[in-house]
Amino acid sequence: MNDVLISAGIQISFVLTLELISYLVLCRKKNGFFNWIGLCLPRNRNWIKSSIVVFVVSLFIMVGPLALFQYLGYITAEMFYDKTISEQGLGISIVIIILLKAIIQTALSEEIFFRGLIGKGITNKFGYLAGNIIQALIFGLPHGLPFMIIYKESVVGITLIITAGIVGYLQFWLNEKKANGSLIPSILIHSIMNIASFTSKALS
């Protein structure tokens, strides 16, 4: 558990440091650091219903292809094996590890990096559409490239790049168009999906 805690701390610290450098260089006069990166509460409740829709669509988009590829034999359990949680059950220490990995190490760090640093940064320079498309594409790459490079499963890799990219696009839209630029909606969706994924690994 200590290794996961240290790893999560280093990752979120690194991402926040990148954001702080960007803020100091580019946008110091804009409403404060946390507002600039999106770590602030939405100013209304318009995002809640949209978040539910985006969550359901994202779940279908991500789980559907994975289930199909697993059924067809292109994906095996070994590809998703995680020595810290896989087949470990749900003891207190495993639950803590799942929360650290699901919320801090992945959801929070990735949302700040992709939807915040990359998405908002490009949007400020080139407009919303360019920012959303580019951050979505970059977000999709690490979800599919390992299957193409390590396991030589190009169809799986390309599919996951596209599906993760679509999810990233929807989450950026949700943040920027429904939640006044707040990252809270996408962090919540990302966290819930990760918790479910890691919990299934622990119980498999």
* Tens digit of each residue's pLDDT (9 = 90 or more) over 138-182: 999 999 999 999 999 999 999 999 999 999 999 999 999 999 999
pLDDT band at 30 (very low <50, low <70, confident <90, very high): low
Neighbours of 160 (CB within 10 A): 25
Looking up tokens 């995002």, which residue turns up? 47
Decide: helix, strand or coil at residue 20: helix
Radius of gyration (C-alpha) of the chain in whole angstroms = 17
CA atoms lying within 13 Å on the CB side of residue 169: 14
For the chain, percent of residues with pLDDT exceeding 90: 72
Domain ranges of the chain: 2-33+45-203
Q: Rounded to whole angstroms, how far apart are CA atoms 145 and 203?
A: 27
